[in-house]
Amino acid sequence: MTKTNPGRFFEDYAVGDVITHAVPRTISGGERAMYHALYPARGALYSSDEFARACGLPASPVDDLITFHTVFGKTVPDVSLNAVANLGYADGRWLAPVYPGDTLTSISEVIGVKQNSNGKSGVVWVRTTGRNQHGQDVLSYVRWVMVRKRGDGAAPEAIIPELPKAVAATDLVVPAGLSFDNYDFALAGEPHRLQDYTVGEIIDHVDGVTIEEAEHMLATRLWQNTAKVHFDATNREDGKRLIYGGHVISLARALSFNGLANAQMIVALNGGAHANPCFAGDTVRAWSEVLEIEQTDAPGVGAIRLRLVATKGEAGHLRDENGKYLPDVLLDLDYWALMPV
Amino acid sequence: MTKTNPGRFFEDYAVGDVITHAVPRTISGGERAMYHALYPARGALYSSDEFARACGLPASPVDDLITFHTVFGKTVPDVSLNAVANLGYADGRWLAPVYPGDTLTSISEVIGVKQNSNGKSGVVWVRTTGRNQHGQDVLSYVRWVMVRKRGDGAAPEAIIPELPKAVAATDLVVPAGLSFDNYDFALAGEPHRLQDYTVGEIIDHVDGVTIEEAEHMLATRLWQNTAKVHFDATNREDGKRLIYGGHVISLARALSFNGLANAQMIVALNGGAHANPCFAGDTVRAWSEVLEIEQTDAPGVGAIRLRLVATKGEAGHLRDENGKYLPDVLLDLDYWALMPV
Amino acid sequence: MTKTNPGRFFEDYAVGDVITHAVPRTISGGERAMYHALYPARGALYSSDEFARACGLPASPVDDLITFHTVFGKTVPDVSLNAVANLGYADGRWLAPVYPGDTLTSISEVIGVKQNSNGKSGVVWVRTTGRNQHGQDVLSYVRWVMVRKRGDGAAPEAIIPELPKAVAATDLVVPAGLSFDNYDFALAGEPHRLQDYTVGEIIDHVDGVTIEEAEHMLATRLWQNTAKVHFDATNREDGKRLIYGGHVISLARALSFNGLANAQMIVALNGGAHANPCFAGDTVRAWSEVLEIEQTDAPGVGAIRLRLVATKGEAGHLRDENGKYLPDVLLDLDYWALMPV
């Protein structure tokens, strides 16, 4: 019997299956410092205990994307080891902030399967939930991937989950106690409130970062995501290491500080596409488009829905005339963030 | 209205203006660990809680240069975004140690302006103060930079601050409680006391470190210094990323352990010049010259004033016959440190 | 008098000498986070406070190799600065787990010397002990190195210590309170118990990691190991930086998770050889051979003795027909780990 993990194939997923993912993880100030070293992250709420307390939180939580990457990383050995492609995200919601000292685990439920017409692979939908040491859910999202079949058996009944195009503003979970009534715009870095943004507005975040191999590998390992494509230069014919898509997400989000400094907390992931692969040496820029503007019940707290695009090209350029992503585009992400009104 | 920060131009500074810099930062053990990974730092006081307690401190503070970089990094978007050159430092004093858990903010006061004769730029002097969550000042220093003008308006009245050539030994602030009476030289790594050094002595720190792109970018981001010249390989015609001068300061200071292991705490920054740019691939060495030796009122605590030079060339070589820095010289820093007598 | 450390030569070691190594170090969650960023480490006991508590420990200790590297790093300036070769390890035992907040110091006793027949160098054996702030020993191991002579004086009496080929299973120290009775195999990542392994079994850990210069330097500095061969590209004629052998140990150990996820704690180092040098750009893989299987007195806790091989080549290939390590082999390590029965 081989002792190593061969990964799951399409046949190994049945709707209703629940997978407990391995390796719980306690987060500390160390992960936060690493995050600040890896990305140009400057969100005040994630940088300062004092700023977070002034916003009604007990301390500065770790970046919402630390939560995402930690929860996501655990799913890789069970969900994406034999994946041909990461097809999409939907209906993601952050349900509680994560603080240094918290321990996270992940479970996934299979919610959809559909064999491809070629009979060699299929699409699997899973809802992944991250949970802290109190048994409290901190994050829940749907991901679907294309997975190789092991053999040539019959196709299972196709079950395709219904997924919202975007999380409704009324379904957003604002962290308990959060208030932006005493929000300090000078310390946060920009004066722009929710009402200063308009739907359809494009924001060029200006700055670019050239990625190094060491950086994306440090990041990806930090989330205990050990997919070999990210680490092994002998794995592809061209000798390139594919950069974990989450590295590009975090980089683009951090770059978006310049113009969106007050888009403080990510509360929902509506969708996302890793439009083209990213490699070391690429210089990544970012731009955002304002998609929706909403209020919440929390004092002074509004919600802004944003398209965040990571690109090697120009701001505002996304697709060609056929609707295909331009070759320079790396990421097209749709998310909700909280912003002072 | 553009949402992104265009940076300030020369016209935007008036003597007396006070700028509250954005993004307060809570420091943790994570920043300390990163610092030890980025630099060959071995100062015992900054490595061990036990050693620090034996010296009368409540715990091991973070490296004084973590404080400097954190405070400095916050000023970049307001002071150096349109800067043509970082011209100098003066009258810097560390006023209180920073411990994991502390939150730092920075403010700067404009203390001098002088338009250049070309009418296209000017020099701005600012005094920057770092402060902890108790409202206590932890660091104060003067920096002056050359900044582009936005337009071609009239020159403001030139005001040039008077700055000391060096902080007087009597003005040095020794941390409350510090005592070197029970200083353990074996654990600190070298037997040399203050009286073992002589003014004019040159110390070659021997070791060299070849710098990688990933390292200086991790470091610079850690201080939330997001000046694009450090990160964007498309920013310069030669495709090089300019290394943050503070990275060279920290590297040289860490290398100086070998010969100055007991120069434990930096208490003053008298001056400094980034003599030549530093790029990845450079192998950096360091040497020091003893400039002054003084006593303090604290038990067993002396003060040593040092010139610290980072270079790609030979120890002891600094300027050519015309007084110009040799092309191999990267940094010429003048500082005070505390040392057991 | 030169202020810098010239290192010790063969003549400077006499059997019975005790060397107090410099620079005590307080470990925090930061070092743990860095370790997870540097290596694909996924051992649940070292990742989660909750998992560790379920195994009877007060919290998640830092990886045993963090302890090893921290203790080892301190010995470099005193033991290996003028070393020609690191010849071997023996009789290493971990004696107590190390937790964030602990402060480590190292001392070494010289236990053997033997001049080489060429009269230009000799072999020195030292027993190094790591100790925490409570004066409790956390690690003890023997290392021997070949060291240059300073001069051409007479040879000392040769004293060669008797060293066990392997630590006896009965001498292994199981951390107080450790129990695997409630071990959660799903969270740990693999179902294999001690009895699922057989002596002689070879496990190919499958995954490969291509090493970058920035990574091994970050790692090596983190342990305050400042041997210049690791950092200075001008130090060797070929411009290469030799990678610290401990980096390869940690990388191979982390890779061995895939097949040995339940080999949780390293409790003994029986021997080890850095078979060939490792350089940036090398893609490192790992395989293990089961050498012994034993029980311990602790509830549910067994012990597995493993050969861990890091290689650029194929799993299972170790030596040529003359018994010489194959050129692809980087590391041959013999250790004991604890595993649920």
Q: What is the pLDDT of residue C120?
A: 93
Instruction: Calculate how close chain A gets to B224, using CA atoms only, in Å.
Output: 6
How do B137-148 and B83-94 pair as beta strands? antiparallel
Query: Which residue in the set C28, C105, C231 is minimally distant from B33, CB to CB?
Result: C28
pLDDT at A44 over 90: yes
- Residue A6: its pLDDT value, please? 82
The values of phi and psi at residue A199, to 5°, are -60, 130
Looking at the complex, does the CB of residue A185 fall below 8 Å from at least one CB of chain C? no
Q: What is the mean pLDDT of residues A114-123?
A: 94
- Closest to C339 in 3D by CA, of C133, C44, C98: C44
* Cβ pair A233:C283 closer than 8 A: yes
> Nearest residue of C to residue A217 by CA position?
C37
Are A54 and A111 in contact by the 8 Å Cβ rule? The answer is no
| Matching residue, tokens 């209703």 | A16
Substitution target from A23, A66, A216 for chain C, most C beta carbons within 10 A: A23
**Least reliable range by pLDDT among A192-196, C152-156, C297-301:** C152-156
In chain A, what residues touch B218 (CB-CB under 8 Å)? 37-38, 215, 218
**Percent of all residues in chain A with a pLDDT value above 90, rounded to a whole number:** 93
Task: Give the other-Cβ count within 10 Å of B118's Cβ.
Answer: 8
Residues of C within 8 A of A4 (CB-CB) are 203-206, 258-259
pLDDT band at A1 (very low <50, low <70, confident <90, very high): low
> Are B267 and B173 within 8 A, CB to CB?
yes
Calpha distance C20→C12 (Å, rounded): 14
The residue of chain B with its CA nearest to that of C216 is B37
Kindly report the average pLDDT of chain B as a whole number. Answer: 96
Helix (H, G, I), strand (E, B) or coil at C132: coil
Instruction: Let me know: does A309 contact A288? Beta carbons within 8 Å.
Output: yes
DSSP code of residue B327? T
Q: State both tokens at B234.
A: 């498309």
Cα C29 to the center of its chain, rounded Å: 20
pLDDT of residue A153: 84
Neighbours of C282 (CB within 10 A): 20
Residues from chain A contacting residue C203 (CB–CB below 8 Å):
3-4
Candidates C2, C7, C224, C9; CA nearest to B192 is C2
Across the interface, do B212 and A212 touch by the CB < 8 Å criterion? yes
pLDDT of residue C1: 55
* ipTM rounded to 2 decimals: 0.95
Q: What is the pLDDT of residues C205-258, one digit of tens each?
A: 999 999 999 999 999 999 999 888 999 999 889 999 999 999 999 999 999 999
Q: Is B258 on the interface with C (CB under 8 A)?
A: yes
Q: Do B221 and A38 touch (CB under 8 A)?
A: yes
Across A25-34, A226-235, B274-283, C129-138, least confident range: A226-235
Partner residue opposite B187 with nearest CB, options C1, C105, C212: C105
φ/ψ (deg, to 5) at B307 = -95, 125
Q: Would you call B33 and A32 a contact, using CB atoms and an 8 Å cutoff?
A: no
User: How many Cβ atoms from other residues are within 10 Å of residue C341's Cβ?
Assistant: 17
Closest CA to A164 of A267, A266, A269, A90: A90
Residues 272..311 of C with a Cβ closer than 8 Å to A: which? 281, 283
**DSSP string over C49-79:** HHHHHHTT-SSPPPPHHHHHHHHHHHHIIII
Contacts C25 to B, Cβ<8 Å: 47-48
Residue B1 is predicted with a pLDDT of 55
In 3D space, the residue among C110, C262, C293, C111 whose CA is nearest the CA of residue C191 turns out to be C262
Cβ–Cβ contacts within 10 Å for residue A12, how many? 17
The rounded distance, in Å, linking the Cα atoms of A268 and A91 is: 7
Distance of CA B110 to the CA centre of its chain: 19
Distance CA A123, CA A86 (A): 10
Report percent pLDDT > 90 for chain C.
93
Q: Say how many CA atoms lie within 13 Å of A234 toward its Cβ.
A: 13
Q: Does C100 touch chain B (CB under 8 A)?
A: yes
Cα–Cα distance for residue pair B44/B52, rounded to 1 Å: 8
Q: How many whole angstroms separate alpha carbon B267 and alpha carbon B58? A: 18
Nearest to B219 by CA among B280, B269, B271: B280
pLDDT tens track for C20-69: 999 999 999 999 999 999 999 999 999 999 999 999 999 999 999 999 99
Structure tokens at A220: 């990806």
- Averaged over successive runs of 10 residues, the pLDDT of chain B (341 residues) comes to 85 97 97 98 98 98 98 94 88 98 98 95 97 98 95 92 97 98 97 98 96 97 92 92 96 98 98 96 98 98 98 96 97 98 97
Q: Do A38 and B224 touch (CB under 8 A)?
A: no
Spatial separation of the C-alpha atoms in residues B5 and B201, rounded to whole Å: 47
Candidates B1, B24, B232; nearest CB to A210: B232
Rounded Cα distance, B23 and A51, in Å? 9
Out of C38, C48, C215, name the one closest to residue A25 (CB).
Answer: C48
Distance CA C155, CA B121 (A): 71
Sequential DSSP letters for C34-45: HHHHHS----GG
Q: Do A3 and C260 touch (CB under 8 A)?
A: yes
From B215's Cα to the closest Cα of chain A, the distance in A is: 9
What is the pLDDT, as a whole number, of residue B249? Answer: 98
Scanning C149-178 for CB atoms below 8 A from B yields: none
- In tens, the pLDDT along A276-325 reads 999 999 999 999 999 999 999 999 999 999 999 999 999 999 999 999 99
The DSSP element (H or E) to which B337 belongs, if any, is: strand B329-340
